[in-house]
Amino acid sequence: AILLHPEKLSHTPRDGALREPLLKVIHVMRSMGYKDDEDREVVLRDLSEVIGQFPYKAPSVFNFYLPEFQPDRFTGDLVGPEFEIFTTPAAIGLFNGLMSLIRKGLGDCDGGFGIHAPGCAQGRLTAGGSGSAEATLKELDLLLTGGRLNGSSSVVQHAYREAPEGAKVQAAQEAIVLSPEFHTLGSSAPAGRREAKKRREAPNPRSYKAVVMLYLGGGADTFNMIVPQKCPLYDEYVLARKNVALLPQQLIEISTDGQACKKFGVHAKLSFVKDLYDRKKAAFV
């Protein structure tokens, strides 16, 4: 009944689905012949904050995503539940982890999915070539996408061809796991003839603004990045920071309105941010 269902037999833009991130990780390890160096069981670190999914870590009894979730630009009753956890940070974490798995094995190096191990990895993918380049790429296509490589096939072939000897299979694996066919289910073939779009008149060029957010993680001492000046808040800051509090002469002064203090001090290493702030091209959030 499933194989003969109209949705399975038809090929329209409404078909298919985005694959769950954890299934993609396990898929690569199984299909590419992952083997532990000492024949131990596979140990993954908690990937909840890395790829958005991990066994027994669902945020609620309703699973990792809601069945009625509708991403932006989806119209009508078209839904994409798996897109709810396919955020930008999760996508980057997934891509970094897959690249680390292919290049270095399962470990914690370069955003890997594993735990710390001597020599970086607990084990590695063992899948090799199948003779000729054509046979190797055909096998990788079958194992990683179910033989659905379509528009991405030329990219994979180029990656394989340009890679040095000994790294060709890895290059092809990397290209495939970055392809749309690997991350989705359903037909990847063109669904009929594309409708011609009406040509639009090019608008007159105009100025624009790009929002660039600086995310500082790890050991960033944000209390000393921007410090209140010449107001009671500075005294509270000194009381809280004690011997690591910065003196006014160690900071770059800026002026502002609508805040508890009219003057703030920016860390001396962030002079470029002060320049952008003075030109009204930067803000502290």
Specify the higher pLDDT residue, 197 or 123.
Answer: 123
Specify the higher pLDDT residue, 222 or 164.
Answer: 164
What CA–CA distance (Å, rounded) separates 135 from 154? 15
Summarize the confidence of residues 3-17 as an average pLDDT: 71
Cα–Cα nearest to 175, from 151, 199, 209: 151
DSSP 265: E
Q: Which of 9-23, 104-118, 183-197, 216-230 has the least mean pLDDT?
A: 183-197
Say yes or no: 162 and 58 in one domain.
yes
Specify the higher pLDDT residue, 66 or 285.
Answer: 66
Whether residue 58 has pLDDT greater than 70: yes
Phi, psi for 146 (deg, rounded to 5):
70, 25
Q: Which residues are 125's β-sheet partners? A: 34
Phi, psi for 124 (deg, rounded to 5):
-140, 165
Cα–Cα nearest to 25, from 120, 93, 116, 77: 93
Specify the higher pLDDT residue, 52 or 206.
Answer: 52
User: Which strand (E) or helix (H) includes residue 278?
Assistant: helix 271-278
pLDDT at 218: 66
What CA–CA distance (Å, rounded) separates 112 from 104? 9
Q: Is residue 208 part of a domain?
A: no
Q: Which residues are 253's β-sheet partners? A: 265
Summarize the confidence of residues 175-194 as an average pLDDT: 78
Q: Which long-range contacts (CB under 8 A, 24 or more apart) does 116-122 make?
A: 121/37, 122/36, 122/37, 122/40, 122/42, 122/43
Say yes or no: 262 and 176 in one domain.
no
pLDDT at 83: 94
What CA–CA distance (Å, rounded) separates 203 from 16? 36
Say yes or no: 19 and 94 in one domain.
yes
Q: Maximum distance among all alpha carbons in the chain? A: 76
**What pTM did the predictor assign?**
0.64
Question: How would you list the strands of the sheet with 34-36, edge to edge?
Answer: 34-36, 121-125, 106-107
Report percent pLDDT > 70 for the chain.
Answer: 90
Q: Is residue 195 part of a domain?
A: no
Q: Is residue 123 part of a domain?
A: yes
Residue 19 — pLDDT band, cuts 50, 70, 90? very high
Specify the higher pLDDT residue, 4 or 170.
Answer: 170
143 is in which domain, residue-wise? 9-185
Q: Is residue 213 part of a domain?
A: no
